[in-house]
Amino acid sequence: MNFDSKATADEISALSTIVAPELAAEAIQISVVIPCLNEAKSIAFCIDKAFAAFRRLCISGEVVVSDNGSTDGSTEIAELHGARVVHAVSRGYGSALRRGIEEAKGQFIIVGDGDDSYDCGMRGTSSLLAIDSWVRSRPAPCHGIISTSEPPCSLQL
C-alpha cells in the first residue's frame, strides 16, 4: 500500500474491504485517536500504519482523527484513508484529544499524533499484540487508554 496522501482508489477500496467486515462483525477492540491540526503532509501515513497493524494482528479497530480546525485538507485526507473524523469545537491539543477519546468506540484507546512523532505502527504493534492477547483472555469487557508517546507504550486502566 502507498503510504502518502496520494493513495490510489484501488488501495483505498482494498483497505475498506479488509477493515469494514471486521468492524461490522464484532465490537471494535482498539481505537487509535489522533488529534490533528494541519497535518496534511503526514496524516495519511499515520492512518495507514494503524490500519496495517490492525490487519497484521487480526484486530478489529478504528482510527479516529479529532480535528481542531485544520485548513490544509487534513480532514479530507483522513477520510480518504478510512479514518472517522470528529471535530473539536474548543481550540487546543487537549480539547482535540478529549473529543477524540469521547467519540472512540474501542475497548482500548491508543493515542497517537498526526505528525508521525509517535509510532502507531511499529511500537504500537507490540502494544496492540499485548492488548489483544490480554483482552481475549478476559471474560468481561475491559477498557483502557494507551499512549504511544511514553516509551514503552503505557497502558492505563
| pLDDT one-digit tens code per residue, 32-71 | 999 999 999 999 999 999 999 899 888 899 999 999 999 9
pLDDT band at 118 (very low <50, low <70, confident <90, very high): low
State the chain's maximal CA–CA distance in angstroms.
45
Residue 109 reports pLDDT greater than 70: yes
Q: What is the pTM of this model?
A: 0.67
For the residues 87-101, what does the mean pLDDT come to?
A: 95
pLDDT averaged over every residue in the chain: 74
Question: What per-residue confidence (pLDDT) applies to 41?
Answer: 95
Residue 52 is assigned to a structural domain of this protein:
yes
Which DSSP helix (H) or strand (E) runs through 66? strand 61-67
Q: Are 133 and 61 in contact (CB under 8 A)?
A: no
Residue 59 is assigned to a structural domain of this protein:
yes
Residue 4 is assigned to a structural domain of this protein:
no
- Nearest alpha-carbon partner for 43 in 77, 18, 66: 77
Residue 132 is assigned to a structural domain of this protein:
yes
CA 146 to chain centre: 11
Residue 1 is assigned to a structural domain of this protein:
no
Residue 60 is assigned to a structural domain of this protein:
yes
Find the domain containing 115 and state its range.
9-156
Give how many domains the chain has, as a whole number.
Answer: 1
Residue 30 is assigned to a structural domain of this protein:
yes
Question: Which residues are CB-contacts of 113 (< 8 A; sequence separation ≥ 6)?
Answer: 34, 35, 46, 149
- The residue assigned the cell 469545537 is 89
Residue 141 is assigned to a structural domain of this protein:
yes
Cis peptide, bond prior to residue 151, ω within 30 of zero: no
- The residue assigned the cell 489522533 is 34
Residue 97 reports pLDDT greater than 80: yes
Q: How far is residue 110's CA from residue 31's CA, in Å, rounded to a whole number?
A: 6
